[in-house]
């Protein structure tokens, strides 16, 4: 746990330092993205050659595996250090789900407004019924008073 908290503290501090230097932040973040995806690409190539290599006549190159692993690891560390790993890979999904949630909330608000309008109309009708009834009742009371 101490190692995990130390690593977490290191990444948080490096992210804070890089925030003060946007050009360095952009350069390191870009290098991290490129290295990470390069490594993933090399690993995917290695896996396809590993499984299909004998049939297609390709030679399995274990240096490509090592190169892919190292690139992915360095890219991953750079992205974690800059705080871009989460924003780059999860951020877009969060943004799109946020937009969907916002749309749903707008729809709910519209439905609530319609429901509220219906309630207001209903209350207005009831109020009119009550006032009509009261008017009739008052008229009958006035007639009784006038007859006396």
Q: What is the mean pLDDT of each run of 10 residues along the chain (148 residues)?
A: 76 77 84 92 86 68 88 90 69 59 67 78 86 82 77
- CA–CA dist 29, 110 (Å, integer): 42
pLDDT for the residue numbered 56? 61
Q: Could you tell me the residue ranges of all domains in the chain?
A: 2-89
Per DSSP, the residues of 53-106 read HHHHTPPP-HHHHHHHHHHHHHHHHHHHHHTHHHHHHTHHHHHHHHHHHHHHHH
Check: CB of residue 66 under 8 Å from CB of residue 39: no
SS3 16: helix
pLDDT for the residue numbered 37? 92
- CA–CA dist 42, 72 (Å, integer): 9
Q: How many CB atoms lie within 10 A of CB 35?
A: 20
pLDDT for the residue numbered 129? 87
pLDDT for the residue numbered 49? 81
Question: What pTM did the predictor assign?
Answer: 0.53
To the nearest 10°, report the CA torsion of 32, 36, 37, 40: 170
**CB under 8 Å to 33, separation ≥6 — which residues?**
75, 79, 84, 88
- CA–CA dist 116, 111 (Å, integer): 8
């Amino acid at each position: 746990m101490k190692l995990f908290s130390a690593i977490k503290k290191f990444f948080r501090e490096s992210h804070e330092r890089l925030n003060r230097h946007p050009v360095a932040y952009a350069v390191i973040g870009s290098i991290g993205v490129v290295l990470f995806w390069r490594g993933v690409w090399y690993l995917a190539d290695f896996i396809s050659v590993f499984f299909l290599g004998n049939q297609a006549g390709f030679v399995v190159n274990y240096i490509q595996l090592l190169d892919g692993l190292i690139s992915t690891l360095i890219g991953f560390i750079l992205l974690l250090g800059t705080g871009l790993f989460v924003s780059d890979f999860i951020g877009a999904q969060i943004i799109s789900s946020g937009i969907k949630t916002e749309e749903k909330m707008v729809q709910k608000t519209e439905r609530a407004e319609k429901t509220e309008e219906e309630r207001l109309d209903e209350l207005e009708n009831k109020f009119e019924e009550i006032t009509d009834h009261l008017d009739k009742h008052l008229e009958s009371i006035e007639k009784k008073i006038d007859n006396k």
